[in-house]
Amino acid sequence: MAGSAGKRPPPLSPHIQIYRPQLTSVLSIANRISGILLSVFAVALVSWLIAAAAGAQSYAVIEIFVRSRLGHIVLFGAAFIFFLHLCGSIRHLIWDAHYGFELRTIYASGWAVVVASVALTLITWIASVALTGQSR
């Protein structure tokens, strides 16, 4: 390395990987990741609309996937990701209105986001099973 000492990259200051994950940091990155994943489902929504506009044949292709076991798992995951982003965003909107910045409130609202996302996903799943009469 003696010859290439001048080309050695400068040392970097410690980054997020040295910190212990906390509820606040985990929810922060979760809101970003869920947002990115939801943009994939936004494409799926447009695909569904175009398939519906194109006619019964193309709609049937989408329907086969939606009604499959994999389709159910993907939709269940999508529901959780959606509710996580929804609840996280509402927490952000409340912060934007200058409320809830005390440390205790930040943790309380954080856990509220987790509990509400799980509860809403389960309610969605129960409603879906009740309405379709399937035990999946």
Which positions touch other proteins (CB under 8 A)?
A: 32, 35-36, 38-39, 42-43, 45-46, 49-50, 52-53, 56, 59-60, 63, 79, 82, 86, 89-90, 92-93, 96, 124, 127-128, 131-133
Distance (Å, rounded) from C-alpha 100 to C-alpha 82?
23
- Provide the minimum distance between the beta carbon of 97 and other proteins in the complex, in angstroms, as a whole number: 10
* Rounded Cα–Cα distance for residues 129 and 38 (Å): 23
Q: Which of 5/50 has CB closer to other proteins?
A: 50
Compare residues 23 and 52 and give the one whose CB is closer to other proteins. 52
User: Of the two residues 2 and 115, which places its CB atom closer to other proteins in the complex?
Assistant: 115
Residue 110 and residue 24 in contact, taking contact as beta carbons nearer than 8 Å: yes
Asked if 78 and 41 touch (Cβ cutoff 8 Å), the reply is yes
Nearer to other proteins, 26 or 93 (CB): 93
Minimum CB–partner distance for residue 3 and other proteins (Å): 28
Shortest gap between Cβ of 8 and other proteins (angstroms)? 20
Question: Mind giving me the DSSP string for 59-105?
Answer: HHHHHHHHTSHHHHHHHHHHHHHHHHHHHHHHHHHHHHTT---SHHH
